[in-house]
């Protein structure tokens, strides 16, 4: 039975209208706002002042924004390596037939069920605390006093502390995706490889990785979207008003809604500049996603 194109268009129309209303329109409006000086979100279009590319020029000459861009790039790269390594490791272990698979999978995913704000507070108050934190107590118990004396929330260590906490809260989500992809691979391939004398490493690099490339590509794109939009952890870990925790998402928030600290007062209340940051975030995600897609073969593997 041949389905007519008007019927297909009719069923697609609601989804297209929803997409245009909740994504495309705000994107186009934010792009338009980036060319104007806008005093507040409630300002009418008649109150906007056209300034062309001045917002973009000021951003690229702003030390706070350039520092935030460098921070989020490190989060994307270093955090991606850490998160994907452990996500792959846990997914491979769970797919190997380990006992209590459902329990361990739920345990690894558990941090994702907790609010990011709550998780950040737990790390700041109960893990990194220099008086009674878990790391301090652990290193003291092991006799590693030099590590126990590290001030994890000091300006020199704050970015690393934030990155490790963020990775801890992200591993379970990506592990779940990779584990589902691994479980989808037919076991016949592994049995045939075992008969040929392949060891676990050979099976992983010759069977699992090639057949998992579509899932892995999607995982990297999802990581890019979440990492570039880094906001909550930056806001909660930025207790010392340190530029080491500043990211474009948090910088955009300060530009639009302001911040109570004296450090960021001069950076506040510029809606047009905030929209410019949002446009730059979108462009960065598109560029990085395009680069990721170039590293994977175009043809889709069927199995």
pLDDT digits (tens, 9 = 90+) for 9-38: 888 888 888 888 888 888 888 899 889 888
Instruction: Say what the pLDDT of residue 84 is.
Output: 93
Instruction: Say what the pLDDT of residue 267 is.
Output: 56
In a domain, 202, yes or no: yes
Mean pLDDT value across residues 202-209: 81
Instruction: Say what the pLDDT of residue 303 is.
Output: 57
Q: Which domain holds residue 250?
A: 62-100+169-294
Q: Which two tokens stand for residue 294?
A: 């170039």
In a domain, 268, yes or no: yes
Q: How many Cβ atoms sit within 10 Å of the Cβ of residue 96? A: 13
Instruction: Say what the pLDDT of residue 239 is.
Output: 59
Which has the closest alpha carbon to 236: 227, 245, 228, 244?
A: 245
Mean pLDDT value across residues 270-276: 86
Mean pLDDT value across residues 142-161: 83
Burial of 187 (0-12, 13-18, 19+ CB in 10 A): exposed
Would the CA dihedral through 24, 223, 229, 73 be positive or negative?
negative
pTM of the shown model: 0.84
**Tens digit of each residue's pLDDT (9 = 90 or more) over 246-262:** 899 888 888 887 765 54
In a domain, 26, yes or no: no
Q: Number of folded domains in the chain?
A: 1
Q: Which two tokens stand for residue 235?
A: 């806001």
In a domain, 53, yes or no: no
* 254/241 Cα distance (integer angstroms): 12
Instruction: Say what the pLDDT of residue 260 is.
Output: 56
In a domain, 232, yes or no: yes
CA angle, 211 then 216 then 221, to 5°: 150
Confidence check: pLDDT of 265 > 60:
no
Length reported for the chain: 303
In a domain, 200, yes or no: yes
CA angle, 203 then 207 then 210, to 5°: 140
The better pLDDT of the pair 82, 243 is held by 82
Contacts 24+ apart (CB under 8 A), 19-27: 27/282
In a domain, 279, yes or no: yes
In this prediction, what percent of the chain has a pLDDT beyond 70?
91
In a domain, 25, yes or no: no
Confidence check: pLDDT of 224 > 90:
yes
Confidence check: pLDDT of 270 > 90:
no
Mean pLDDT value across residues 165-188: 89
* 110/104 Cα distance (integer angstroms): 10
Domain CATH code at residue 255 = 1.10.3720.10
Distances (CA, A) of 42 to 21, 45, 50, 252, 262: 20, 9, 17, 17, 24
Instruction: Say what the pLDDT of residue 263 is.
Output: 52
Instruction: Say what the pLDDT of residue 241 is.
Output: 58
pLDDT band at 80 (very low <50, low <70, confident <90, very high): very high
């Amino acid at each position: 039975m041949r389905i007519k194109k008007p019927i297909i268009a009719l069923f697609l129309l609601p989804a297209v209208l929803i997409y245009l209303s909740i994504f495309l329109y705000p994107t186009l409006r934010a792009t338009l706002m980036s060319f104007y000086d806008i005093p507040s979100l409630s300002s009418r279009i008649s109150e906007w002042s056209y300034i062309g590319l001045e917002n973009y020029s000021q951003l690229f000459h702003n030390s706070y924004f350039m520092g935030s861009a460098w921070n989020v790039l490190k989060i994307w790269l270093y955090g991606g390596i850490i998160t994907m390594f452990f996500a792959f490791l846990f997914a491979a272990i769970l797919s190997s037939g380990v006992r209590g698979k459902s329990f361990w999978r739920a345990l690894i995913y558990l941090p994702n069920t907790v609010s990011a704000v709550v998780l950040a507070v737990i790390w700041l108050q109960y893990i990194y605390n220099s008086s009674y934190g878990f790391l301090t107590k652990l290193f003291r118990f092991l006799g590693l006093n030099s590590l126990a004396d590290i001030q994890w929330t000091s300006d020199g260590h704050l970015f690393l502390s934030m990155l490790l906490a963020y990775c801890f809260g992200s591993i379970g989500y990506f592990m779940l995706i990779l584990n589902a992809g691994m479980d989808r691979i037919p076991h016949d391939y592994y049995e045939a490889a075992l008969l040929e004398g392949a060891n676990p490493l050979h099976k992983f690099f010759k069977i699992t990785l090639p057949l998992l490339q579509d899932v892995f590509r999607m995982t990297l794109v999802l990581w890019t979207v979440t990492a570039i939009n880094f906001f909550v952890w930056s806001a909660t870990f930025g207790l010392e008003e340190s530029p080491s925790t500043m990211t474009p998402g948090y910088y955009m928030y300060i530009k639009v809604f302001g911040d109570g600290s004296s450090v960021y007062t001069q950076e506040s209340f510029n809606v047009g500049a905030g929209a410019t940051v949002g446009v730059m975030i979108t462009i960065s995600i598109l560029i990085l996603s395009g680069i990721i897609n170039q590293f994977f073969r175009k043809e889709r593997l069927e199995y």
